[in-house]
Structure 1
Amino acid sequence: MQLTLTTPALFFPAISLLFLSYTNKFLALAALVRSLHQEFETNPNCRSLTDQIGIIHRRLMLIKHMQGLGILSFIFCVLDMFLLYLGMEHEALLVFGGCLFFLLASLLICAIEIHISTAALDVELRHME
């Protein structure tokens, strides 16, 4: 496989858009936590709040890992470009594989987080019925 400097460079906009998505998820979750905190202050024994707090803890952990793996993918992408610049093609191929692996892991965790967030909405809907 021939790896050129432009191949990892194509990942920059993709990873940047991915981080924009992850940041939006984090900001929406932060707003939800603040809203639930106000609701908890007025009604600390509400069962739906207890259910949601557990789900939010898990989602925050997943978002943290999504972002961390995305950062690793970005770092590996930059390192890959540097290795290609130095003419170290074999090492660059290995690092590019790492970049792809971390990006894939980040996306898989994102899929899990989406699944959990829909379950959280399901909890809300059940309590309104």
Structure 2
Amino acid sequence: MEITLTTPALLFPAISLLLLAYTNRFLALSALVRELYARHKADPKNHLLRGQIENLRYRVILIRNMQAFGTCSLLLCVVCMFVLFAGWVMLGKVIFGVSLVLMIVSLSMSVREIQVSVNALKLQLSDMEHDET
């Protein structure tokens, strides 16, 4: 496989948009945590809130790790470009490969976070259904 200086640069727009999406998810989650904190202080015995808080705790960890792996992937793309610029093609291929693996890990965590998010919505919906009966 031939790799040039522009190969890792092709990932820059995708990684940048992905990190922006991750940041937006984090900000939305932060607002939710603050809201649940206020509700928990008002009613600490609410078991539904306890489940939501545990769910959010896990999601925050997932999003932190998604951002970390995505950022490391971007960093390695930049390092790869530098290494290729210096003329070390084989090392550039290895670094680019590791960068792609980190991006795969980040995206896999994103899929998991979406699954956990859906479970949180199901919890909320089941509570609403319980209130109707």
For the aligned pair, the TM-score class normalised by the smaller chain equals over 0.9
1:114 maps to: 114
* CA displacement at 1:26 relative to structure 2: 0.2
**Distance across 1 between alignment mates of 2:76 and 2:121:** 36
TM-score by length of 2: 0.95
Give me the identity figure in percent: 45
Q: How does 1:79-98 map to 2 (within 5 A)?
A: 79-98=79-98
Name the aligned partner's letter for residue 121 of structure 2: L
**Distance across 2 between alignment mates of 1:65 and 1:19:** 12
2:20 maps to: 20
1:40 maps to: 40
**Distance across 2 between alignment mates of 1:27 and 1:68:** 16
Instruction: Encode CA deviations 1:34-79: one digit per residue, 9 max, x unaligned.
Output: 1101111111111110000111111011111101101110111000
Q: Specify the SS of the correspondent of 1:4.
A: coil
2:63 maps to: 63
Name the aligned partner's letter for residue 125 of structure 2: L
Count of residue pairs the alignment pairs up: 129
Q: How does 1:66-77 map to 2 (within 5 A)?
A: 66-77=66-77
**Distance across 1 between alignment mates of 2:9 and 2:118:** 34
TM-score by length of 1: 0.98
